[in-house]
């Protein structure tokens, strides 16, 4: 799950910056699926941090555009497989309207 990797990365960032190892104390969102609780509560000694992971687009349709571009690239790669030398370097230029 992507959130798990993000939480692990956050714990590592805090460790490197502050020298403090936080551990997951609880995962409220996994316990109570009826509400949008926070993802995890991290704890280290007497310090606690509540973490909520939310994905926000930097620009309108960013996520859907990326999905469409990946699909287009995958389709092109499939069509070119076996037709282009394996060590060829191609530049894919896609334009949106």
Where are the domains positioned within the chain? Answer: 1-97
Taking 80 as the threshold, does the pLDDT of residue 96 lie above it?
no
Give the C-alpha separation, 5 to 55, whole Å: 14
DSSP H stretches of helix in 1-97: 2-18, 28-31, 62-80
Taking 90 as the threshold, does the pLDDT of residue 54 lie above it?
no
Report CA torsion sign: 73, 78, 82, 86: positive
pLDDT, tens digit, 9 for 90 and up, residues 64-93 = 888 888 998 899 889 888 888 778 777 877
Phi, psi of 26 (to 5 degrees): -155, 165
What pTM did the predictor assign?
0.55
The two structure tokens encoding residue 60: 């309108």
């Amino acid at each position: 799950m992507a959130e798990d990797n993000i939480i692990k990365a956050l714990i590592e960032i805090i460790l490197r910056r502050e020298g403090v190892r936080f551990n997951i104390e609880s995962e409220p969102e996994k316990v109570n699926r009826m509400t949008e609780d926070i993802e995890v509560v991290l704890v280290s000694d007497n310090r606690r941090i509540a973490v909520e992971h939310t994905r926000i687009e930097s620009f309108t349709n960013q996520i859907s555009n990326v999905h469409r571009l990946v699909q287009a690239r995958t389709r092109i790669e499939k069509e070119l497989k076996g037709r282009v030398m394996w060590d060829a370097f191609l530049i894919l230029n896609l334009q949106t309207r």
